[in-house]
C-alpha cells in the first residue's frame, strides 16, 4: 500500500477505501486475572497480569476475524496498551504477549485485513480511572497506588462501585494523578525540572520507556505485512499545560460531577482537606450545583521521601498551615510566550515516536492524533512522509445522554443546538469536514481516518436488550455512516468486543459500544453496508439507502489501474436478484454505455461485485436496486 495525492493505493494502482473497527474495547484491561473495571480487586498485583487473550483467545481468533471480514471490514485499529507490553517493570517486556499478538496479526494478514497499531490510553492508566500506562510509572514519582482514590487524585470504577455515573471517567483528566503524569510526560523538563526518576529528568525517563516499549513491540511484529501503520498515542492530553488560572477548571472535555480546580487537586494530593464544586452540564450549559469534600481523611498521596512536583517547582506553597497558590498561570507560558501544547510538546514527541518506529520499518505510515474536539498538530511534507490525520469524532449529545433524537443534537465542536433531521445530518458532515479541511490546509493534504466514532448500545437504560428493538440505534448509525460516506472518509468504528455482555458492556467503565454482544450483532443493518473497497479510478459519489436497498456509485475510471473495481455487496444488502444498471460516458465525446461496455461479475459467496476496467478514461455510474 502506498500514499499518493491524498489516497491509499494498492499494488494494482487502485484507490482503496479503508473501513473497519477498533478491536477491542476490552483490550484496555488484562485477560488474566480478569481485569474488568467493575471487579473491585482488578487493580491488585499490577506486575502479575497478562494481556494474552486480548482482543480474543488465539483458539477463537479465526472465528472472530472471519466474522469481521464477512462484514466487509478490510481494516482494524488494533488496541494495545503500554501496560500490556511492560507491566512487570521498566524494561521487562512480556514476550509471551508479544508472541501471541504476532499470531493474531498474522491471521489478519492471511485474510487480507490491514492493521493499524493503536498504543491506547485513556486518562493515563487503570489506576487513574482509565487504561494505558503501567502502575510503576506512577510509583516512580512517589505516588502510593492505594491512596489515589482516598486523596481524590482519581475516580475509579473499582472504588466507586455501581452504578458508575455516566461518562464520569473523562473527568479524571482534571484530577491530580492523570494531569500530573501527562504534564511530566510531555513537559516535565520545562515545568518540573527538579523532578527526576532514577537520576534522569522525569520527562526524558518516561518518554524513553514508552518509546522503547513500542519499538520493541514492533521489532517482534516486523514480519507482519498486515501492519500498515502506527499511532503515537491515543487521545493525548495536555494535563495542566496551558492552564491560565490554576484556581479554575480548564482543559476539560465536559464538566460532570465533582471536579477540583488544578490547585485544589494539588492541595488534596498533599493531604489537605478541600471543598470542590460539583458540576452539571446539559443543553442549558455548565453550572455548579453543589459542593463535595475531597480527601476527608487528610492522607497524603506520596510515599515517604517524595512530595508534589508542583510544590517543589514553586507553583504552590503553605502559609500558616494552609495551601496557597503562588503562580496561577505557571503552565500558561513557554519560552516567554503563550504555550502551545500541540506544537511545543505533542508534535516533538510524535516525531520521536515516528523516528523509533521507522527504525524498524521505514515504509510504515504514522497515524497522528490531536486532542479530541481540540487542536491537532500541523505537518509538512519536509517533516516526513506517510502521515495520516487520524482524528476522532463522537455525537457527544448521544454519547453522554445515552439517548438519540434524529431531530435535535448538540454539535461536539461548539456545543450549539441543531434542530431538524436534515440539519443534524448536515452538522455531522460539517464537523467531519472541518477536521478533513485541517488536513488539507495544515498537514499538506494528508489523508484522513476517522479512527473512532460509535454509539452506546445501552441507550434508554438498555431498553433494546429487553425488546430487541434497535430502531433508534439503526437511525443513529445510519446517519453517522451517511456523513462518512458523503466525504469518502476512511473509518474504524469503536468497537468490536467479543466478550461484551448486556450486563457489563465492554468491561471498561461501563462503556457499551460494541457492535457485537452476547454472541449476536447489534443494529447490523446500519453498519454492515456496501462500499467500494477498491476503485480502478477516482471515486466521485457514493450513497447507500438501506430502507430501499439502493446503492449508487459514480467514479472516473482510468487506464493506469490494473485490477477491477471492487464493490463490497452482499445478498443481505440487495437480495438474490438485484437490478444492476451500469452506464459509462467519456468526457471527450459524450459517448454512452451502448459503445462503452463495462463488464461485471458478482461473486455472491465473497460479497464482491467486480467491475472490469474498460481501459479508457470515462465516468462510470453504477446503480443497484434490491
Q: List, by residue number, the catalytic residues.
A: 235, 452
What one-character-per-residue DSSP string does 198-248 give?
Answer: TTEEHHHHHHHHHHHHHHHHHHHTTT-TTEEEEES-SS---TTTT-S-TTS
| Chain mean position to CA 362 | 24
Q: Residue 541: which of 465, 620, 607, 616 has the closest Cα?
A: 620
Judge whether 259 and 253 are in contact, CB under 8 Å.
no
Rg value, the chain, Cα: 25
**For the stretch 4-19, what's the b/e string if a residue is b when 16 or more beta carbons lie within 10 angstroms of its beta carbon?**
eeebbbeeebbbbbbb
C-alpha cell at 234: 491515543
| Residue 332: strand, helix, or coil | helix
Burial grade of 595 (CB within 10 A; 0-12, 13-18, 19 or more): exposed
Burial grade of 574 (CB within 10 A; 0-12, 13-18, 19 or more): buried
Q: Is the dihedral of CA 64, 65, 70, 71 positive or negative?
A: positive
Torsions phi, psi of 45, nearest 5?
Answer: 45, 60
Judge whether 84 and 98 are in contact, CB under 8 Å.
no
- Rounded to whole angstroms, how far apart are CA atoms 53 and 32? 8
Counting every residue written for the chain, the total comes to 626
Q: Residue 176: which of 95, 303, 264 has the closest Cα?
A: 264
Judge whether 457 and 473 are in contact, CB under 8 Å.
yes
Kindly list the distances between the CA atom of residue 176 and the CA atoms of 138, 342, 343, 414, 481, in Å, as whole numbers in the listed order: 11, 21, 24, 27, 38
Name the one residue in this structure whose C-alpha cell is 505533542: 346
C-alpha cell at 397: 449529545
What is the strand order of the sheet 618-625 is part of? Answer: 537-545, 550-557, 618-625, 579-585
Name the one residue in this structure whose C-alpha cell is 513491540: 217
Judge whether 68 and 113 are in contact, CB under 8 Å.
yes
Amino acid at each position: 500500500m502506498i500514499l499518493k495525492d491524498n489516497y491509499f493505493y494498492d499494488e494494482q494502482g487502485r484507490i482503496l477505501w479503508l473501513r473497519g473497527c477498533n478491536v477491542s474495547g476490552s483490550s484496555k484491561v488484562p485477560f488474566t486475572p480478569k481485569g474488568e473495571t467493575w471487579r473491585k480487586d482488578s487493580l491488585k498485583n499490577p506486575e502479575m497480569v497478562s494481556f494474552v487473550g486480548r482482543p480474543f483467545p488465539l483458539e477463537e481468533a479465526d472465528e472472530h476475524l472471519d466474522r469481521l471480514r464477512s462484514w466487509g471490514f478490510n481494516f482494524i485499529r488494533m488496541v494495545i496498551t503500554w501496560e500490556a507490553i511492560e507491566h512487570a517493570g521498566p524494561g521487562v517486556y512480556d514476550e509471551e504477549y508479544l508472541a501471541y499478538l504476532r499470531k493474531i496479526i498474522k491471521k489478519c494478514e492471511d485474510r487480507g485485513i490491514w492493521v493499524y497499531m493503536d498504543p491506547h490510553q485513556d486518562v493515563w492508566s487503570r489506576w487513574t480511572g482509565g487504561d494505558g500506562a503501567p502502575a510503576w510509572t506512577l510509583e516512580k514519582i512517589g505516588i502510593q497506588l492505594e491512596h489515589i482514590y482516598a486523596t481524590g487524585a482519581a475516580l475509579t470504577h473499582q472504588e466507586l462501585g455501581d452504578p458508575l455515573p455516566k461518562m464520569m471517567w473523562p473527568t479524571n483528566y482534571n484530577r491530580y494523578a492523570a494531569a500530573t503524569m501527562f504534564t511530566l510526560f510531555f513537559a516535565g523538563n520545562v515545568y518540573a525540572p527538579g523532578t527526576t526518576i532514577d537520576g534522569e529528568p522525569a520527562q526524558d525517563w518516561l518518554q524513553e520507556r514508552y518509546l522503547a516499549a513500542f519499538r520493541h513491540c514492533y521489532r517482534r511484529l516486523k514480519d507482519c505485512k498486515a501492519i500498515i501503520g502506527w499511532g503515537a498515542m491515543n487521545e493525548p492530553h495536555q494535563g495542566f499545560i496551558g492552564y491560565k488560572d490554576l484556581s479554575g477548571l480548564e482543559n476539560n472535555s465536559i464538566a460532570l460531577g465533582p471536579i477540583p480546580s488544578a490547585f485544589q487537586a494539588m492541595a488534596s494530593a498533599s493531604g489537605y482537606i478541600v471543598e470542590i464544586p460539583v458540576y452539571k452540564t446539559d443543553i442549558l450549559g455548565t453550572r455548579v450545583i453543589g459542593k463535595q469534600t475531597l480527601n476527608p481523611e487528610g492522607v497524603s498521596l506520596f510515599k515517604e521521601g517524595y512530595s508534589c512536583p508542583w510544590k517543589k517547582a514553586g507553583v504552590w506553597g503553605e502559609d500558616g498551615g494552609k495551601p496557597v497558590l503562588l503562580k496561577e498561570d505557571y503552565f500558561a507560558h513557554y519560552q516567554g510566550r503563550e504555550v502551545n501544547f500541540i506544537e511545543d510538546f505533542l508534535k516533538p514527541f510524535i516525531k520521536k515516536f515516528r523516528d523509533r518506529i521507522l527504525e524498524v520499518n521505514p515504509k510504515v505510515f504514522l497515524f497522528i492524533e490531536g486532542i479530541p474536539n481540540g487542536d491537532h498538530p500541523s505537518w509538512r511534507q519536509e517533516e516526513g512522509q506517510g502521515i495520516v490525520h487520524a482524528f476522532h469524532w463522537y455525537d457527544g449529545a448521544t454519547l453522554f445522554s445515552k439517548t438519540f433524537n434524529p431531530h435535535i443534537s448538540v454539535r461536539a465542536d461548539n456545543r450549539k443546538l441543531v434542530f431538524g433531521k436534515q440539519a443534524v445530518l448536515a452538522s455531522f458532515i460539517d464537523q467531519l469536514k472541518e477536521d478533513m479541511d485541517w488536513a488539507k490546509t495544515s498537514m499538506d493534504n494528508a489523508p484522513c481516518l476517522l479512527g473512532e466514532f460509535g454509539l452506546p448500545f445501552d441507550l434508554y437504560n438498555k431498553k433494546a436488550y429487553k425488546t430487541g428493538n434497535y430502531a433508534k440505534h439503526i437511525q443513529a448509525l445510519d446517519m453517522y455512516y451517511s456523513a462518512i460516506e458523503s466525504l469518502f472518509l476512511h473509518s474504524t468504528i469503536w468497537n468490536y468486543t467479543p466478550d461484551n455482555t448486556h450486563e457489563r458492556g465492554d468491561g471498561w467503565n461501563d462503556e457499551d459500544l460494541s457492535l457485537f454482544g452476547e454472541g449476536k450483532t447489534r443494529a447490523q443493518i446500519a453498519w454492515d453496508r456496501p462500499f467500494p473497497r477498491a476503485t480502478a479510478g477516482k471515486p466521485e459519489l457514493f450513497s447507500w439507502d438501506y430502507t430501499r436497498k439502493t446503492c449508487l456509485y459514480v467514479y472516473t475510471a482510468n487506464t493506469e489501474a490494473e485490477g477491477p473495481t471492487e464493490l463490497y455487496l452482499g445478498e443481505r444488502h440487495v437480495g438474490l436478484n438485484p437490478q444492476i444498471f451500469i452506464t459509462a460516458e467519456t468526457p471527450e465525446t459524450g459517448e454512452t454505455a451502448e459503445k462503452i461496455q463495462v463488464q461485471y461479475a458478482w461473486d455472491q459467496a465473497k460479497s464482491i461485485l467486480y467491475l472490469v476496467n474498460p481501459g479508457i478514461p470515462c465516468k462510470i455510474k453504477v446503480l443497484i436496486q434490491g
